Amino acid sequence: MIAILASLMFQHVDNDIVYATTDSKKLTLDAYRPAQPNGRVFIAIHGGEYVKGSKGGETGELCRFLSKRGFVCFDINYRLQQDVKGDISKALSAGVTDAIEAFRWAETNAEKYGGDKYKISIGGISSGAVIAMTAAYSKGIKVRSVVDLWGGLFGEQTDIKKGAPPLFIVHGLNDKIISISMARAIENKAINMGVPVRFLLHQGGHGIDLNKTINHYTILEHIDSFLRETVK
* Tens digit of each residue's pLDDT (9 = 90 or more) over 128-160: 999 999 999 999 999 999 999 999 998 778 899
What does the buried/exposed string (b/e) look like for 58-87 if buried means 16 or more CB atoms within 10 Å of the residue's CB?
bbbbbbbbbbbbbbbbbbbbbbbbebbeee
Element (H, E) at 132: helix 127-133
Element (H, E) at 81: helix 81-84
206 closest CA partner among 125, 120, 143, 138: 125
Residue 186 lies in domain: 2-230
What stretches of 134-179 show up as alpha helix (H) in DSSP? none
What residue ranges of the chain have pLDDT lower than 70?
A: 1-10
Number of domains, the chain: 1
pLDDT at position 2 is 47
59 closest CA partner among 91, 5, 99: 99
Cβ pair 79, 22 in contact under 8 A? yes
Residue 80 belongs to a domain with what CATH number?
3.40.50.1820
Question: If phi over 0 gives left and psi between -120 and 50 gives alpha, with beta otherwise, what is residue 84?
Answer: alpha
**8-state DSSP, 230:** H
